[in-house]
Amino acid sequence: MADDNALTFYFDFVSPYAYLAWKQIQNVAARHRRTLIVKPILFAALLNHHGQKGPAEIPAKRIYTFKNVIRMAHFSGLSITPPAAHPFNPLLALRASSVPMAESARLALIDAIFDVTWQGAKIDGSRDVTDPKTIAALATNVGLDGAKVLEAASSQEMKDRVRIETENAIAQGAFGVPTMIADGELFWGADSIPHLEAYLRGEDPANRERLNMFTEIPVGATRQRSPS
Amino acid sequence: MADDNALTFYFDFVSPYAYLAWKQIQNVAARHRRTLIVKPILFAALLNHHGQKGPAEIPAKRIYTFKNVIRMAHFSGLSITPPAAHPFNPLLALRASSVPMAESARLALIDAIFDVTWQGAKIDGSRDVTDPKTIAALATNVGLDGAKVLEAASSQEMKDRVRIETENAIAQGAFGVPTMIADGELFWGADSIPHLEAYLRGEDPANRERLNMFTEIPVGATRQRSPS
């Protein structure tokens, strides 16, 4: 049964903005008495769907993105450290986070994977979340059976689950990560958390009437490939 | 002679984020005793250069962008109203803003064009900044010779100037608007203004040492077009 009081958090470990939002979202859900639903999805598939480039795929933007997350982390009081490599293939970590388990264990596992990726934490000396041994050790460390989590993460069912949740996110209008959805209202990016909280307080200034003013205007020009 | 104390503001009237930044940047420059240098550039050419889509070109993102700017304006205490059409062709407005004139007149003209575009202001009943009559009237209204500004805006020299300044922005690493540059340090987006101000106070947490940690890591994966 759908939870009418849900706050859904779509994320990919590859995104430093997802990390910054992750470190705040459990408190946001608690403050507003929302049930946090976490959904690991593949950011690259969102980019493919929308024909868009990710911030790490435009050289000038890649450097700026790193500076921006250092600054955002600093002013949010969060620590951030680069992963062992970036971008990296997040599929194993996403699938492991999707394996059926108690929600408290899932939150702990996701937190542990984020900490190894973006906070400099190590497990058995490793910071490589693309390595099955690292994922198994992290699962064991939060009280799960690491070998079983790893086996389940490699199943077709978990491959399908990440793909289906990614498609669900796209169907709900997601075009990036993190995406947070409450009552069908979508918020994108770590910097949208204050807007999400205003919405959850019933104080969203982007109400239907205001929005219609913007969505009802015509498109006046489309981009030409070679502007004069 | 280059102004070592400059704060350069690259913008395009088509961007609501450029409008939100514009309404703050003169105060930022004054607070930090920087000389504000304004540079009208063509956002579409930045997108073309980087092979990127603009927020208005991804349907789900277009709606979200409008909501986001309503929220950002609200929480910044700024009013925002949609333009007559969007996107629109900004070239005439950009070229008119590039015509040689006193800098005080230029700031007033840019402010007037932004107000007609994003604040609901009208001049002679018009809100259409793609209309030469509107641009001429706005120029006249800020004390310029409207007919002369319009004539100069249509010259090859002004076409070249906007193109060259756009190329200059790209050469300095710009990939979007607004882009603000101080001492070669680039800040992108209205939401980066607090980061810009931290930099101008000498308190940028993204110092060289921190940044090198991020830029020296290897690329671990590149996106495939059809992730499994």
Q: Do B51 and A48 touch (CB under 8 A)?
A: no
The predicted complex's ipTM stands at 0.90
Give the N- to C-terminal CA distance of chain A in Å, as an integer. Answer: 55
Average pLDDT estimate for A179-195: 97
Q: Do A82 and B175 touch (CB under 8 A)?
A: no
Interface test with B, best of A64, A74, A183 (most B CBs within 10 A): A64
Q: How many CB pairs under 8 A join A and B?
A: 179
Q: Do B215 and A64 touch (CB under 8 A)?
A: no
Q: Do A191 and B191 touch (CB under 8 A)?
A: yes
- In a 13 Å sphere around the CA of A119, the CA atoms on its Cβ side amount to 17
Asked whether the predicted pLDDT for residue A172 surpasses 90, the reply is yes
Regarding pTM above 0.80, the answer is yes
Q: Which residues of B touch A93 (CB under 8 A)?
A: none
* Closest Cα in chain A, distance from residue B144 (Å): 27
Q: Which residues of B touch A198 (CB under 8 A)?
A: 71, 75
Closest to A188 in 3D by CA, of A198, A175, A207, A197: A175
pLDDT digits (tens, 9 = 90+) for A97-130: 999 999 999 999 999 999 999 999 999 999 999 9
Angle at B13 between CA B8 and CA B17, to 5 degrees: 75
Interface test with A, best of B65, B223, B225 (most A CBs within 10 A): B223
Q: 3-state DSSP call for residue A124? A: coil
Q: Do B60 and A194 touch (CB under 8 A)?
A: no
* Closest Cα in chain A, distance from residue B37 (Å): 22
DSSP state of A219: P
Average pLDDT estimate for A42-59: 90
H/E run at residue A75: helix A59-75
Q: Phi, psi (5° rounding) for residue B117? A: -75, -50
Angle at A48 between CA A155 and CA A180, to 5 degrees: 75
Instruction: Please give the residue that has the higher pLDDT: either A142 or B57.
Output: A142
At residue A4 the predicted structure's pLDDT band, cuts being 50, 70 and 90, is: confident
Type of residue numbered A179: T
* Closest Cα in chain A, distance from residue B225 (Å): 6
Interface test with B, best of A41, A193, A223, A225 (most B CBs within 10 A): A223
CA-to-CA distance for A36 and A3, rounded, in angstroms? 10
| Mean pLDDT value across chain A | 93
* Closest Cα in chain A, distance from residue B28 (Å): 18
**Closest Cβ opposite residue B82 in set A188, A195, A217:** A217
DSSP string, A25-37: HHHHHHHTT-EEE
Say what the pLDDT of residue B226 is.
46
At residue A224 the predicted structure's pLDDT band, cuts being 50, 70 and 90, is: low
Say what the pLDDT of residue B2 is.
56
pLDDT digits (tens, 9 = 90+) for B138-184: 999 999 999 999 999 999 999 999 999 999 999 999 999 999 999 99
CA-to-CA distance for A45 and A65, rounded, in angstroms? 20
Say what the pLDDT of residue A53 is.
87
pLDDT digits (tens, 9 = 90+) for B1-57: 456 799 999 999 999 999 999 999 999 999 999 999 999 999 999 999 998 888 888
Q: Which residues of B touch A217 (CB under 8 A)?
A: 82-86
CA-to-CA distance for A95 and A110, rounded, in angstroms? 11
Residues 6+ apart with CB under 8 A from B49: B170
CA-to-CA distance for B185 and B198, rounded, in angstroms? 12
Say what the pLDDT of residue A227 is.
43
Asked whether the predicted pLDDT for residue B224 surpasses 80, the reply is no
Q: Do B86 and A53 touch (CB under 8 A)?
A: no
Say what the pLDDT of residue B205 is.
93
**Closest Cβ opposite residue B211 in set A42, A70, A206:** A70
Asked whether the predicted pLDDT for residue A223 surpasses 80, the reply is no
Asked whether the predicted pLDDT for residue A228 surpasses 60, the reply is no
* Closest Cα in chain B, distance from residue A170 (Å): 9
